Amino acid sequence: PTSSSSGISRPGEAVSPEDLRDVPIAANAAEPPWRDLARHTAINPPGRAIHPGAAPKGDRLVYATTEFGTRPQIALKTVDGAASYQITSNSGENLFPRISPDGKLVAYASNRDGNWEIYLARLDAPAAATQITFEDVDDIAPSWSPDGKRLVYCSKPADSTVWQIVIVEIGSRLKTYLGPGVYPDWSPDVKDPWICFQSQPRTSGGRSTVWVARPDGTGLREIVGDKTRVWSAINPRFSPDGRWIAYATVNKSPESRAFGQPEAADDIWIVRPDGTLDTRLTDDLSAEWWPSWGGDRVFFVSDRGGARNLWSVRVKPLEDPKE
Does 98 score more than 90 pLDDT? yes
Q: Hey, which residues does 150 pair with through a beta bridge?
A: 169
- Mean pLDDT for the chain overall: 87
If DSSP codes are grouped into helix, strand and coil, which group holds residue 22?
A: coil
Confidence label for 85 from pLDDT (cuts 50, 70 and 90): very high
Residue 10: name the closest of 47, 37, 43 by CA: 37
Length of the chain (residues)? 323
Does 19 score more than 50 pLDDT? no
Confidence label for 260 from pLDDT (cuts 50, 70 and 90): low
- Mean pLDDT of the 106-135 span: 95
- Mean pLDDT of the 218-233 span: 92
CB–CB of 262/248 below 8 Å? no
Looking at residue 286, what is its pLDDT?
87
Compute, in degrees rounded to 10, the torsion defined by CA atoms 103, 77, 317, 197: -70
Looking at residue 153, what is its pLDDT?
98
CB–CB of 77/56 below 8 Å? no
CB–CB of 249/232 below 8 Å? yes
Does 21 score more than 60 pLDDT? no
d(CA 156, CA 140): 9
- Mean pLDDT of the 48-73 span: 96
Does 4 score more than 60 pLDDT? no
State phi, psi for 151 to the nearest 5 degrees.
-125, 145
- Mean pLDDT of the 207-234 span: 94
If DSSP codes are grouped into helix, strand and coil, which group holds residue 128?
A: strand
State phi, psi for 259 to the nearest 5 degrees.
-125, -15
Does 13 score more than 70 pLDDT? no
pLDDT digit string, tens, across residues 160-174: 889 999 999 999 999
Looking at residue 304, what is its pLDDT?
87
- Mean pLDDT of the 174-200 span: 96
Looking at residue 308, what is its pLDDT?
94
Q: What pTM value is reported for the model?
A: 0.87
Does 9 score more than 80 pLDDT? no
Q: Hey, which residues does 18 pair with through a beta bridge?
A: none
Looking at residue 79, what is its pLDDT?
93
- Mean pLDDT of the 126-148 span: 95
- Mean pLDDT of the 90-113 span: 96
Compute, in degrees rounded to 10, the torsion defined by CA atoms 50, 70, 115, 155: 10
Residue 235: name the closest of 204, 266, 191 by CA: 266
Does 127 score more than 50 pLDDT? yes
Looking at residue 34, what is its pLDDT?
85
Backbone Cα Rg of the chain: 19
SS3 content of the chain, % helix, strand, coil (to 5): 5, 45, 55
* Percentage of the chain exceeding pLDDT 90: 70
Tell me the residue type at 236: P
pLDDT digit string, tens, across residues 299-317: 999 998 889 999 999 998 7
Looking at residue 253, what is its pLDDT?
82
Does 12 score more than 50 pLDDT? no
Does 255 score more than 80 pLDDT? no
Confidence label for 320 from pLDDT (cuts 50, 70 and 90): low
Compute, in degrees rounded to 10, the torsion defined by CA atoms 301, 57, 75, 236: -40
Confidence label for 213 from pLDDT (cuts 50, 70 and 90): very high
Does 8 score more than 60 pLDDT? no
Looking at residue 33, what is its pLDDT?
84
